[in-house]
Chains A and B, each alone.
Chain A
Amino acid sequence: MERFACHTLPALVSVSPLLVSVALVASPSELRWGADAEGGAPYVFEQPPGHLRGFEAELAGLLASRLGRTARHVQGPFAQLLPLLDRGDVDLVINGIEVTEDRRQAYALSQPYWAGPERLTVRRNDPHAPATLADLRARRVGTLPGTTAERMLRAAGADVRTYEGGQEDPYRDLALGRTDAVLLDAPIALYYGDRPELTTLVAGFGEIRYAVVTRAGDTRLREEIDAALEGLVRDGSLPALLQRWGLWTEDAGRVLGVDTAPAGSPVELQAWRARTTQGMWSGGAGPILAALGRGALVTLFLSIASMALAVVLGAALALARVYGPPPLSALALGYVELFRGTPLLLQLIVVYYGLPELGIRLSPLIAGWLALGLNYAAAEAENDRAGLLAVPRSQMDAARVLGLGRWQAIRHVVAPQAIRVALPPVTNDFIALLKDSSLVSVVTVTELTKTYGTLAAATREHLALGLLVGAVYLLLGFPFARLSRWVERRLGEHLEVAR
């Protein structure tokens, strides 16, 4: 244990700056655009898995080529897209971001590329279904958090239910009778409100506009984007794009300055509807399994690397606490209290979005690895400490009398006995870490749970995919549980002999 601590920790520490610098190099010819593929159709989604689709994915491609750059999608959770922009991880965000006064103040917004109403969806057979905003007073209404729709609902006095999990959830709950209505942007209602038991009212409410978001100081890029959008309107490619996705509205025509509706039919909308009725395996099992496999590998390697950090650091902390001089021991105790007493999610967000304020910019994987490792080190330190304290102090005396130095005694006499005690809870923590690693999706790492969210948004198969992903987690953890039991048996060999 001691030797491990001496040689591995410096190695890990020396490698990390390398990874940081590699990950942060952004080619100037790339246009990095942020969007959450878990958000779903028609904005940005994956279908088949690993293949990005959506009207905004196409728009990003068109804008990039007008700018003479190549579009590179950066996956981030919807709520973190603007922080990612602040952090400089993306050049712009294109993900149904509504134009609001607040955002105008904080960011440089482009001209709108879409405009349209909020739409109200209700149950088809509900005799008391609301039909106007006034009807929504005190009724349970689902929507997505932080949207114009939510503000409208609050103003109307509705009992608002917001959903973090994606665009499908509000409509699913409505169909199940858990809510009375859903108010959301027209494109969402069009793609997810389309269920046999639901109906969307023809008359919309209000008008929302989507714009490309760039950093406040980045006016040059904003101007380039505006010019590019204008070009896309003039040559007809943006109206045609909206039409293909079934998103052409009068409002859109007005804000884009186009009087006549573009020709063509909503082929992408039709294709989406056809695919979702066919079920998730229609494209073959290959792409879905490949996507899950990629997610599982990220989860597995991130968990192993984080656990390695946690075990090494935890051992050092436990040794400092039990055998260190008082100041070092107090420091180790402070570390444990700090990291054990605050939420992992908070630590992750602080490491990724907070540290850049101090000039420390970590790549997503490194930030996730570091946050998970530092957090679990506190737990491992306590496991190891319990193990060290389980060995009688007289064992240390016996070793010292034989002439072993303090470290030799710890390494050859105390630690081998302590590890056996600490191993079961450490294994338990590894399985817990495997699951907690899903939190790193907030720093744009697409691991297994995020893969599930993206796949479910694209296929609408929440149950089947959920069971499948659950099985993958079980499979990932199982070998380690087995390995741990085997090691425990080996370490406990001396206790199994009959007298």
Chain B
Amino acid sequence: MTALLVEGLARHVGVRRRTVLEGLSLRVEPGGVAVVLGPSGSGKSTLLRCLAGLERFDAGRVALGTLEVAPGGQGVLLGRVGLVFQSVELFPHLRVLENCTLAPRLRGEPEGEREARSWLERLGLADRADAWPQSLSGGERQRVAIARALSCRPAALLWDEPTSALDPERKREVAAYVGAVRERGIPQVVVTHDAELSAALEATNYRLGEGRLTELATSAR
């Protein structure tokens, strides 16, 4: 069981080194969920990209269990931290199961397919394994993206605005998926500005503003 720890994270962008994140700290225990709320442009996406290893940070540290990441070393997070994109980003030329098994297959992990099938089944997609992403509904696509991220056995899972593209009925399901992942003991960070979602999750709520996180009252179930 690993915890996700962020300490003093800073990120400046552009030639004028505009500050996006400054001294940001966060701790998510194994099986814990942190919900990050904040208006557009507050740096929510930048935070997720830094945590996923897609973008460098300029100061501070990220720790994932015993793995320590210093500025510039964010590459080691790739493949270790799952990210469910707001735009889902399934690979359109690969079938549902292939989307989930591509990364494990390239890493030479033979158990990847079993893992993928079990997640597809848990997410109600067992009969869609051979479908093209194009043929799925918006909700189904998101669930494939979740299954794809989890098939790689990530040590942490990040969600970027998971309800933004869903109709109200489907929105409620997202909370259930987060719950399913929690059972695995994986720390999660959910970025959203959907108050309904944050209310439905048993999580520590934070507000991102001026580059820092402020803890809000823990939402009650």
Contact = CB atoms under 8 A, between A and B. Distances in A.
Interface residues of B, number: 31
Interface string B127-167: 00001111111000000000011001000000000000000
A401 B53 contact: yes
B201 interface: no
Contacts of B137: 499
A498 B135 CA distance: 6
Given A398-B91, A401-B78, A404-B106, A497 B148 contact: no
A249 interface: no
Interface size class of A (residues with CB under 8 A): 20 to 34
Nearest to B148: A402
B81 A497 contact: no
Contact of B52 (A401, A408, A494, A495): A401
Contacts of B107: 403
Nearest to B79: A403
A412 B101 CA distance: 12
B3 to A, nearest CB: 20
Contacts of A412: 102, 106
Contacts of B87: 394
Contacts of B78: 400-401, 403
A499 B87 CA distance: 18
Contacts of A417: 91-93
Contacts of A392: 89
A413 interface: yes
Interface in B182-208: none
A397 interface: yes
A413 B91 contact: yes
Contact of A499 (B79, B135, B152): B135
A497 B132 contact: yes
Given A494-B133, A498-B135, A394 B85 contact: yes
Given A408-B106, A412-B106, A491-B93, A403 B80 contact: yes
B137 to A, nearest CB: 8
B74 to A, nearest CB: 11
A392 B95 CA distance: 19
A324 interface: no
B216 interface: no
Interface in A374-432: 392, 394-395, 397-404, 408, 412-413, 416-417, 420
12 contacts: A395-B91, A400-B53, A401-B81, A402-B149, A403-B79, A404-B102, A404-B103, A413-B91, A420-B93, A494-B93, A495-B134, A499-B135
Query: What 4 pairs between A and B have smallest CB-CB spacing?
Result: A403-B79, A398-B89, A402-B103, A494-B132
Interface of B: 52-54, 78-83, 85, 87, 89, 91-95, 102-103, 106-107, 131-137, 148-149, 152
Given A401-B54, A401-B79, 11 more contacts: A394-B85, A394-B89, A401-B149, A403-B79, A403-B152, A408-B106, A412-B102, A420-B93, A493-B132, A494-B94, A495-B92
